[in-house]
């Protein structure tokens, strides 16, 4: 594998996959840049896993033989030259491909040799990969005795031991506890510094914490793509958070002109929504001073990724095809 990594490390065009007469993925195209973490976001059943299986050569697109689909990994056509292309690729499926009866060291050595590594290169890669994935203290332990979090780390380790330019991770934090999730997300962020990563998830918090760019998938199609920062700007929210040390009854707040909804967040803090054509902030300030509500906070609302995701997918739902997609 060449040490020169191109700017575009993965390029896919017109990927389509059907299972019988049921469409799972339809005409998907995407690119992954060097040093980028791309989040493939969607509900369960949106077609994410089927897409990743095609991107990694585990599943052929339906139109591959007619050359209507193409997948390039570091400029190498995956469909025409799979061995050469996969040398630049590491893949962690949703269920990690682990041999539970092997030790961590033996399994990762086996994975390195499958990737064509030999001799001193294997030993060096084993040391570096264990260190990178936080596996230094468990090298001699049997994989089946490890926690789910450590098994996920071993799964990531087998995907990166040959130092690929592109790493594909399918739902890497599913089933982990909060501490394990933080550890895996931290590892993914580190990988994004030196590799290109595509991460499949249905967790918005995952996208927000680790991804540079987002592609939203629904019913087997990509329906939205942008940076995670710009994604938040896709939806405007008319409202604010208000804190009152001595608040009035909720009905009084809801009765203020221009207010459409008031949601209590605590006994003294409220989420206030209003029409985009009105802005009752000044009225709240005036009434708080007159009525002795003791205003402590007034913070404009910003759209969350959850707001944006709901808006985008709800809009797309109106165009839902007659048959659903596979996961």
> How confident is the model over 196-220, as pLDDT tens digits?
999 998 888 888 889 999 999 999 9
The per-residue pLDDT for 180 is 87
Non-local (6+) Cβ contacts of 87 within 8 A are 1, 115, 116, 162, 164
For residue 211, give Cα distances in angstroms to 43, 125, 200, 201: 17, 26, 10, 11
Is residue 19 over pLDDT 60? yes
Higher pLDDT, 261 or 317: 261
Residue 57: both structure tokens together: 């050569």
Q: How confident is the model at residue 324 (pLDDT cuts 50, 70, 90)?
A: very low
The answer on pLDDT for 327 being more than 80 is: no
* Res 323: pLDDT: 45
CATH 2.60.120 for the 239-300 domain, yes or no: no
Residue 140 tokens read as: 């001699």
Where exactly are the structural domains of the chain? 8-232, 239-300
- Say if strands 37-41 and 196-201 run parallel, antiparallel, or are unpaired: parallel
pLDDT of 62-118, one tens digit each?
876 666 889 999 999 999 999 999 999 999 998 999 999 999 999 999 999 999 998
225: left (phi over 0), alpha (psi -120 to 50) or beta: beta
Q: Please give the Cα distance from 40 to 48 (Å, whole number).
A: 7
**Cβ-count burial of 161 within 10 angstroms (0-12 exposed, 13-18 middle, 19+ buried)?**
buried
Instruction: Give the percent of the chain with pLDDT over 90.
Output: 63
> Mean pLDDT, the chain, as a whole number?
88
Between vectors from CA 214 to CA 213 and to CA 220, what angle results, nearest 5°? Answer: 145
Q: Is the pLDDT of residue 233 over 80?
A: no
Q: Sign (positive/negative) of CA torsion 221, 225, 228, 232?
A: negative
Instruction: Please give, one letter per residue, the 3-state secondary structure of the chain.
Output: CCCCCCCEEEEEEEEEEEECCEEEEEEEEEEEECCCEEEEECCCCCCHHHHHHHHCCCCCCCCCCCCCCEEEECCEECCCCHHHHHCCEEEECCCCCCCCCCEHHHHHHHHHHHCCCCCHHHHHHHHHHHHHCCCHHHCCCEHHHCCHHHHHHHHHHHHHCCCCCEEEEECCCCCCCHHHHHHHHHHHHHHHHHCEEEEEECCHHHHHHHCCEEEEEECCEEEEEEEHHHHHCCCCCCEEEEEECCCCCHHHHHCCCCEEEEEECCCCEEEEEECCCCCCHHHHHHHHHHHCCCEEEEEECCCCHHHHHHHHHHHHHCCCCCCCCCC
Of residues 275 and 245, the one with the higher pLDDT is 245
Fold exhibited by the domain 8-232: Rossmann fold (3.40.50)
Owner of token pair 């195209």 = 29
């Amino acid at each position: 594998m060449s040490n020169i990594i191109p700017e575009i490390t993965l390029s896919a065009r017109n990927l389509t996959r059907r299972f019988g007469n049921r469409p799972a993925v339809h005409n998907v195209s995407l690119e992954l840049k060097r040093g980028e973490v791309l989040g493939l976001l969607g509900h369960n059943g949106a077609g994410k896993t089927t897409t990743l299986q095609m991107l990694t050569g585990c599943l052929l697109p339906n139109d591959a033989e007619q050359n209507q689909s193409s997948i390039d990994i570091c400029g190498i056509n995956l469909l025409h030259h799979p061995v050469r292309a996969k040398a630049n690729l590491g893949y962690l499926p949703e269920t990690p491909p682990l041999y539970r009866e092997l030790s961590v060291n033996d399994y990762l050595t086996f994975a390195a040799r499958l990737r064509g590594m030999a001799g001193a290169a294997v030993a060096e890669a084993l040391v570096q990969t264990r260190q990178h994935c936080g596996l230094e203290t468990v090298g001699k332990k049997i994989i089946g005795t490890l926690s789910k979090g450590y098994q996920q780390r071993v799964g990531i380790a087998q995907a990166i031991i040959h130092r690929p330019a592109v790493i594909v991770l399918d739902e890497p934090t599913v089933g982990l506890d909060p501490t394990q999730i933080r550890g895996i997300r931290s590892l993914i962020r580190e990988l994004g510094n030196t590799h290109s990563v595509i991460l499949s998830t249905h967790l918005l918090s995952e996208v927000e914490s680790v991804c540079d760019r987002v592609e939203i998938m629904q019913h087997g199609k990509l329906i939205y793509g942008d940076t995670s920062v710009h994604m938040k700007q896709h939806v405007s929210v008319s409202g604010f958070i208000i804190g009152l040390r001595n608040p009035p009854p909720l009905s009084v707040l809801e009765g203020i002109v221009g207010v459409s909804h008031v949601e209590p967040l605590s006994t003294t803090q409220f989420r206030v929504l209003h029409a985009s054509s009105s802005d009752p902030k000044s009225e709240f300030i005036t009434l708080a001073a007159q009525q002795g509500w003791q205003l402590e906070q007034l913070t404009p609302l910003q759209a969350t990724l959850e707001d944006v995701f709901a808006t985008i997918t709800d809009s797309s739902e109106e165009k839902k095809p007659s048959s659903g997609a596979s996961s």
